[in-house]
Structure 1
Amino acid sequence: MSILQGLLGLAFFIGVAWLLSEQRDRVQVRWIIAGLGIQWSLALLLLKVPLIQGLFVPLSDGVNALQAATAAGTHFVFGYLTGEATPFDILHPEHSFIFAFQVLPLVLVVSALSALLFHWRILPPIIHGFSWLLRRSFGIGGALGFSTAANVFVGMVEAPLLIRPYLAHLSRGELFAVMVAGMATVAGTVMVFYASILGEIIPNAMG
């Protein structure tokens, strides 16, 4: 039943996108089929192939190590505000969670790490690889492919800035796709944040 629900959801959103399109006759079915095929293939690889699943275990371990290092540094600066033992009694412990000191530091660390990896020219080749795959799979332009691939690493605000010189030359459809890609993907900073929250409940939350 859940599989049928997922298929109906995909069909519904594709239908809504087609109905809202200004040029329905220019919609190419082969790109839709290609997108669905890639999505299902990735899902099968991630859920059914133990070797692929095993690749995400070190990623989860890396996230846990990054979280622990960030927590240690934050505690050194802000003390008990980070959730550690307090020098006084707390009447309502359930209200002791402070978002600014227990969540945002991890987001800032990952953002700074992404910027550093960009400066060291480590992330650009990876993004170019994803961009090439998107261009070959869906026939989109280089600027759109690069921005979409960068969303995974730097987020929806920074990714369009990477193609700022080309924004004025994008078509309406490409500009809309840039915005949709930002809304539909999760940046690495937010992914690490979610993994840190779910890590206590779901083993290997990053995978």
Structure 2
Amino acid sequence: MQFLIGILGLLVFLGIAWAMSKDRKNINFRAIGIMFGMQIVLTFLMLNTNIGLRVLNSIGNVFTKLVEFGLEGVDFVVGGWIPEGQAPFFINVLLIIVFTSTILSVLTHIKVLPLLIKWVGGGLSKITGLPKVESFVAVGSVFFGQSEVFLMIKNQLATLNRNRLFIISTSAMGSVSASIVGSYIAMIPPKFVFTAMVLNMFSALIMSSTIFPVKVEKDDEQVDIKGIVQTRNVFDAISNGALDGGKIALIVASQLIAYVGLIALVNAVLNGLAGVDLQTILGYVFAPIAFIMGTPIHDIMQVGGLMGTKLVTNEFVGMLSLQDIANHLSPKGQAIISTYLVSFSNFSSIGIIAGSVQALNGQKAKEISSFGLKLLFVASLASAFSATIVGLFI
């Protein structure tokens, strides 16, 4: 039953995107069909075949080993501060970002990631017929997230119209950064993290290019992926990566202190006035969406509450809340919400994306800011689309 509901959910999400489209005559249905087909095939291979599961496990083991190496550095700096048997979130989860960010910076400097983006992005553009800029940003967002990815197209920003700006902004918001994957896999199953990263690349393009179709008569744009390499040598890359990772860890920690504290305050007020908490209210609001995503009926309130929590806070708060109730969810419910949480689609991301573009092109940053809630809605729609596909195979 949930399978049929999930199929209906995919049609509903595609129907919403079609209804919102600004130019239905120019929707590239061929590209959308190809990307959707690739999502189905890849999800089946990743989650329902021995080879796929082994590949995901191997990738997960690599990140787990990186986390272990990172913890060596963490222990050197803060060893002795933590009582034996305790595992503070900031120490064991967030500080790992410093190390994984450093690895990402080094791989960028030695051209490994830029070349990977070049070949995969170029291949995606040829297969689907989508412009190179949109394809490169979609692939780049898998690794660099919603801030650094714009460096790849800084020379093209001035020429991009409103439709194309919306598509690349959706890709950025619908992604996550590889530098924080190590923290994610400490909270939710690695296979859903990596599956979501791949599916979101396509889902963001499907939803945004349906709503804002683009048609480039002669796609001769040359995307300078070298522009993302901002370091002079490998030591500079190590230093910059470590500093960037430290900033991210502190920013996330600050946000968690603020959001978790505010949620506690709101819950205290709501409990005093009405005997309910914020998660319950959000659960009722998002339960219908959770239902059409194929979530088992007994899980929809919890899944809906986590969806709403992530939207108004961030994915870390959602993942921490998921850990508290994971044992009470069915495998399908866990898979759907775990996939949904792996993206940057929340209110604060609107300002982050606009701020990132502001440093490169002030006028285009104003246009992105004007997208406002529509950008957040479409990025969230993409996350729901990916999560629904995963639910079909669980």
Q: Which residue of 1 aligns with 2:387?
A: none
Q: 1:182 to 1:84 in 2, by over 3 A?
A: farther
1:57 equivalent to 2:57? Answer yes
Q: 1:103 to 1:13 in 2, by over 3 A?
A: same
Q: Give the residue type in structure 2 aligned to 1:138.
A: T
Task: Answer yes or no: is the 8 Å Cα contact 1:18–1:24 preserved in 2.
Answer: yes
Q: Give the residue type in structure 2 aligned to 1:183.
A: M
**TM-score normalised by the chain length of structure 2:** 0.46
User: 2: distance between equivalents of 1:84 and 1:162?
Assistant: 45
Count, aligned residues = 195
Q: Which has the higher contact order (CA 8 A, sep 6+)?
A: 2
Provide the identity percentage. Answer: 26
Aligned Cα RMSD in Å? 2.4
User: In the TM superposition, what is the alpha-carbon distance from 1:206 to its structure 2 partner?
Assistant: 5.2
User: 2: distance between equivalents of 1:191 and 1:4?
Assistant: 32
1:27 equivalent to 2:27? Answer yes
SS state at 1:168 partner: helix
Q: 1:203 to 1:28 in 2, by over 3 A?
A: closer
1:37 equivalent to 2:37? Answer yes
User: In the TM superposition, what is the alpha-carbon distance from 1:163 to its structure 2 partner?
Assistant: 1.2
SS state at 1:165 partner: coil
Q: Which residue of 2 aligns with 1:74?
A: 74
User: 2: distance between equivalents of 1:33 and 1:203?
Assistant: 25
SS state at 2:88 partner: coil
Q: Which residue of 1 aligns with 2:88?
A: 97
User: In the TM superposition, what is the alpha-carbon distance from 1:30 to its structure 2 partner?
Assistant: 2.1
Q: Give the residue type in structure 2 aligned to 1:163.
A: I
SS state at 2:155 partner: helix
Q: Which residue of 2 aligns with 1:89?
A: none
Q: Which residue of 1 aligns with 2:350?
A: none
Unpaired segments ≥5 residues, structure 1: 87-92
User: In the TM superposition, what is the alpha-carbon distance from 1:104 to its structure 2 partner?
Assistant: 2.3
Task: Answer yes or no: is the 8 Å Cα contact 1:67–1:196 preserved in 2.
Answer: no
Q: 1:137 to 1:172 in 2, by over 3 A?
A: farther
User: 2: distance between equivalents of 1:49 and 1:174?
Assistant: 37
Deviations 1:18-39 (A, max 9, x none): 1112112222322222121111
Matches within 5 A, 1:32-181: 32-81=32-81, 83-85=82-84, 97-99=88-90, 101-181=91-171
**TM-score normalised by the chain length of structure 1:** 0.83
Task: Answer yes or no: is the 8 Å Cα contact 1:131–1:146 preserved in 2.
Answer: yes
Moved segments of 4+, more than 4 Å: 202-207
Deviations 1:124-165 (A, max 9, x none): 111112202220232122222111111111111111122111
Q: Give the residue type in structure 2 aligned to 1:108.
A: V
Task: Answer yes or no: is the 8 Å Cα contact 1:111–1:154 preserved in 2.
Answer: no
